[in-house]
Amino acid sequence: MRWVKIVLVIKYLGSKRTLVPLLGALVEASGATTALDLFTGTTRVAQVMKRSGKTVTALDSATYSKVFADTWISLDATTVNQRELTDALAHLESLPGEAGYFTQSFCIDARYIQPFNGERVDAMREIIASDYAGSWLEAPLLTSLILAADRVDSTTGVQMAYLKNWSWRSAKPLELKDPGLIDGHGDAFLGDALQLTAALPAVDIAYLDPPYNQHRYFGNYHVWESLVRWDKPETYGVANKRTDVRGDTHRSDFNSRKTMPAAIAKLLGDVNAETIVLSYNNESWLGREELIELCRHRGHVEVLDYEFKRYIGSQIGIYNRTGALVGEPGVRRNLEHLLLAGPKATLKRMIQATEHIEVRVAGEA
């Protein structure tokens, strides 16, 4: 099997960057031709599924994640006019900066990106809204803009705070890159997995990677949410979060100790797949044995455990603008569990396929 390196990466909490080769091998060995990536986030796992020829369904509740999935999963590189994308990226790159909502909210009132880059983000985002909204180019242009902004940000990877002093990378000029569309077929869905999963098309294999603690992605990545929605919301606090971060609308049942066990159980009942792979973590509210028990009704169960360095923000602490530590450094290692459930013969092939794969113990940022 040939693994294609994914060059465009984004800092994302819980991203399965280091597990991608392993997950790809598991999916391949299962013999699947159709695959679901629930909680797709950056779409890294869905991308590896699609690159190996599967027809992929990707779902997440974050609007920026839907944009990533529209770009890398729904679009088929063999059927679009690549020249149009190249020209549109060049057009955006040529625009002079013009300060607007993004610069004021995220570069001056808060300091995620330096103002000279924020002004270009504003100019590009306005043109995407006026010239490309509704066209096939909208998603790849937005994806390219988010990735470009991420490369020059001044955070430790989450947007609940920013560094006291500008990061070294924030001084570099923002540069749009081609996101690199992928050949093949797929579909992207935006919404709550608990409400949508039962109605998704049946697949051979499903990968489930829900959040495992109280930290909400909607608040952690509010800058990307606002950049994609371009609804220019009111904001609050030092981090300048959208005011709807405070409400209940964007709460996920997976972010609460009280609701999470029932949510996982419902998901495991709803997902229409012959084989499932569930990612979980020893910092979660459910233990390994409880998770195994929850998976049992789906067939045979196997567990693979991997040790990881924790997310970088937890290692160095998270600081606000005045330099005060707003997040404590925590335990540095965690265990990632991969629970496999399905037909015994399929699981046996999958486990065998992992034997030659080395999982690099690395940070997630």
Ligand X SMILES: C[S@@+](CC[C@H](N)C(=O)[O-])C[C@H]1O[C@@H](n2cnc3c(N)ncnc32)[C@H](O)[C@@H]1O
**List of residues contacting ligand X (CB under 6 A):** 12, 14-16, 39-42, 44-45, 60-62, 65, 192-194, 209-211, 217, 252, 254
Cα gap 59→62, rounded to integer Å? 9
Q: What are phi and psi of 307, to 5 degrees?
A: -95, 135
For residue 97, the minimal CB distance to ligand X (Å) is 30
Nearest to ligand X of 143, 320 (CB atom): 143
Residue bearing tokens 């990307």: 224
Nearest to ligand X of 170, 275 (CB atom): 275
- CA-only gyration radius of the chain, Å: 20
Nearest to ligand X of 163, 340 (CB atom): 340
Whether residue 58 contacts residue 188, with contact meaning beta carbons closer than 8 Å, is answered with yes
Nearest to 73 by CA among 222, 223, 152, 190: 190
Cα gap 20→329, rounded to integer Å? 26
Nearest to ligand X of 86, 214 (CB atom): 214
Nearest to ligand X of 14, 184 (CB atom): 14
Nearest to ligand X of 259, 315 (CB atom): 259
Cα gap 267→49, rounded to integer Å? 21
For residue 247, the minimal CB distance to ligand X (Å) is 15
For residue 350, the minimal CB distance to ligand X (Å) is 18
DSSP-derived secondary structure for 145-179: HHHHHHHTB-SSS-TT---SS--GGGGSPP-----
Q: Per-residue b/e over 260-293, b at no fewer than 16 CB within 10 Å?
A: bbebbeebbebbebbbbbbbbbbebbbeeeebee
- Grouping H, G, I as helix, E, B as strand and the rest as coil, residue 142 is helix
Whether residue 93 contacts residue 176, with contact meaning beta carbons closer than 8 Å, is answered with yes
For residue 252, the minimal CB distance to ligand X (Å) is 3
Query: Which of the 8 DSSP states describes residue 3?
Result: P
For residue 19, the minimal CB distance to ligand X (Å) is 8
Nearest to ligand X of 192, 244 (CB atom): 192
For residue 173, the minimal CB distance to ligand X (Å) is 27
For residue 34, the minimal CB distance to ligand X (Å) is 18
Tell me the torsion sign for CA atoms 315, 281, 152, 226: negative
For residue 153, the minimal CB distance to ligand X (Å) is 17
Angle at 28 (CA atoms; ends 278, 46), nearest 5 degrees: 60
For residue 253, the minimal CB distance to ligand X (Å) is 6
Whether residue 213 contacts residue 254, with contact meaning beta carbons closer than 8 Å, is answered with no
- Three-state secondary structure along 223-236? HHHHHHHCCCCCEE
Nearest to 32 by CA among 53, 51, 47: 53
Nearest to ligand X of 140, 210 (CB atom): 210
Nearest to ligand X of 102, 221 (CB atom): 221
